[in-house]
Amino acid sequence: MPTWSELQEYARSKYVLEDDEESFFSLVFRMDSGRTQKIRVRSFQAFDEAWIEFRSVVCKGAEMPAKVALRKNSEFAIGALALDSDEDYVLLHNAPLSTMDPAEFERPLHVIAGTADSLEKDYSEGNDDW
């Protein structure tokens, strides 16, 4: 079972981190299209164990109708849309740290980045804000 410190060290060794704090880090993916997408990864506690959250901002809440967001959620294999405290839609995925291995870390990292960027392109007037 990895620790949060081991996971964070793995990310440091593989990526250039934009933010690197005790309980979270973030990195920016450069997509093939030239667009970028920021992903924030944080550690948190739930059900008496450590969990990891992958989060990426998609668009402002007013840019995507709630019904569309709910319908999109039914299409995702990884992640779900949520409205954050800033009234922005974010794409989230949570996983227990106890089962985290490189594939369990890498897959959601890349899927969340790609999906969030695609949604951002479609619903944020094509802007590359996040």
Note the pLDDT of residue 126. Answer: 67
For residue 107, what are its two tokens?
Answer: 């897959």
Pick the CATH number of 4-123 from 3.30.1460.10, 3.40.50.2000, 2.60.40.10, 3.30.365.10: 3.30.1460.10
Compute mean pLDDT per 10 residues along the chain, 130 residues long, and list them.
Answer: 90 96 96 94 97 97 96 97 97 95 92 96 81
Cα(46)–Cα(61) distance, rounded to whole angstroms? Answer: 27
**Every domain of the chain and the residues it spans:** 4-123
- What is the tally of helices (H) and strands (E) in the chain? 3, 6
For residue 113, what are its two tokens?
Answer: 């980045």
Note the pLDDT of residue 1. Answer: 57
Identify the H or E element spanning 55. strand 49-60
Note the pLDDT of residue 103. Answer: 85
Note the pLDDT of residue 121. Answer: 93
